[in-house]
Amino acid sequence: MGEKIVEARGVCHAYVPGRQDLRGVSLDVAPGELVAIVGENGSGKTTLARHLNALITLQAGALSVAGLDAADPEALWGLRRACGMVFQNPENQFVSSVVGEDVAFGPLNFGMSEKDARAAAAAALGAVGLPGFERRDVHALSGGQQQRVALAGVLASGPEVIVLDEATSMIDPQGRDELVRAVLRARAERGATVIWITHDMELAARADRVVVMRAGEVAAAGAPEDVLVDEALLASAGLEPPMPARVWAELVRLGAASGPASVTVEGLVSALCA
Ligand SMILES: Nc1ncnc2c1ncn2[C@@H]1O[C@H](COP(=O)(O)OP(=O)(O)OP(=O)(O)O)[C@@H](O)[C@H]1O
Ligand SMILES: [Mg+2]
């Protein structure tokens, strides 16, 4: 196996003594990979994500991110910098109501000079498609724009890993598409690794790999076209296949199609036209 940017081995977590909110999660992520994490409410997705940038102290198991050991208290700031997070609620993640100040906060906090932080903020705003937005009021932006400002705030610190925790669930489809595009561009241009926690199975279908969480464990991990067509596995995790796979399965049941299902709309269309 090659180099890993995230390496988790048997990570366990209990918010309250006696509970098992994570029960031995092992997960490897390769640099530049786009990994989707899916699972029903309470399956441990956010708890796992919070470990990646040291928002949660490691209780048991081993975890390294970008070569930093999460068990090492000295690695805390390194982990915060190496792994940036965008959360669900756009309004809850701003430290300043002025866009430019908010985006520059991370770099300043990590010790960059005022001038460099401002330059990093401007570059990050450009990268998310909001060039020149520095003086705007975050509260006057759409939800989708706010999420892109939050993403810019993450990008400005130059993280190796970007974690998005249901970052599209409170914004409209247009905002979602804009955020997805900005994330994919950041990945292509900066070689960032992306971990996308989502309830949107069509979004998960676009990942390199899908990880299914179930009751604090990894129930399955693999290519979307393998994992997201497994109805029994997904049902056991409280999930359904993405719409194109459900349509295909129904056509197969009706005898109107045969062969492996596609998990994307594009794949479904080309299979139907073939
Ligand atoms: N701050 C907390 N204090 C106590 N228990 C918590 C806390 N956060 C989460 N839990 C519990 O830990 C378990 C895993 O929760 P977690 O938030 O990681 O799930 P999730 O997969 O992110 O769910 P969702 O899809 O609802 O965001 C759940 O049983 C939850 O109730
Ligand atoms: Mg969550």
CATH number at 168 reads 3.40.50.300
Which of 15, 50, 197, when mutated, tests ligand 1's pocket best, judged by the most ligand atoms within 8 Å of its CB? 15
Look-up of token digits 């939050």: 150
Give the environment of ion ligand 2: residues with CB less than 5 A.
45-46
Strand pairing category for 161-165 and 83-86: parallel
Domain assignment of residue 108, yes or no: yes
Are 227 and 252 members of one domain? no
CA of 256 to the centre of ligand 1 (A): 42
Are 194 and 248 members of one domain? no
3-class SS at 271? helix
- In 128-172, alpha helices (H): 143-155
Which of 11, 13, 46, when mutated, tests ligand 1's pocket best, judged by the most ligand atoms within 8 Å of its CB? 46
Are 217 and 249 members of one domain? no
Specify whether the CB–CB gap between 148 and 130 falls below 8 A: yes
Residue 2: per-residue pLDDT? 65
Are 165 and 189 members of one domain? yes
Are 170 and 228 members of one domain? yes
Are 136 and 264 members of one domain? no
Residue 93: per-residue pLDDT? 85
Are 76 and 190 members of one domain? yes
The tally of domains found in the chain comes to 2
d(CA 123, CA 117) in angstroms, rounded, equals 10
Strand pairing category for 209-214 and 193-197: unpaired
3-class SS at 34? strand
Specify whether the CB–CB gap between 81 and 154 falls below 8 A: no
d(CA 103, CA 57) in angstroms, rounded, equals 26
* Ligand (nearest to CA of 239): 1
Residue 90: per-residue pLDDT? 80
Which of 43, 59, 85, 88, when mutated, tests ligand 1's pocket best, judged by the most ligand atoms within 8 Å of its CB? 43
Are 68 and 140 members of one domain? yes
3-class SS at 116? helix
Are 235 and 188 members of one domain? yes
Q: What is the mean pLDDT of each run of 10 residues along the chain (274 residues)?
A: 88 96 97 97 97 94 97 93 92 91 95 96 95 96 94 95 94 90 92 96 96 98 96 96 94 91 91 86
Are 209 and 273 members of one domain? no
Closest CA relative to residue 65, chosen from 155, 152, 195, 178: 195
3-class SS at 166? coil
CA of 257 to the centre of ligand 2 (A): 37
* Ligand (nearest to CA of 14): 1
Are 261 and 127 members of one domain? no
The full DSSP string for 178-245 is HHHHHHHHHHHHH--EEEEE-S-HHHHTTSSEEEEEETTEEEEEE-HHHHTT-HHHHHHTT----HHH
* Segments forming the whole domain that contains residue 193: 6-241
3-class SS at 105? helix
If you count them, how many residues does the chain have?
274
* Ligand (nearest to CA of 48): 1
What type of residue is 100? G
Please give the backbone phi and psi of residue 115, each rounded to the nearest 5 degrees, phi first: -65, -45
Q: What is the pTM of this model?
A: 0.95
Domain assignment of residue 205, yes or no: yes
Domain assignment of residue 1, yes or no: no
Are 159 and 250 members of one domain? no
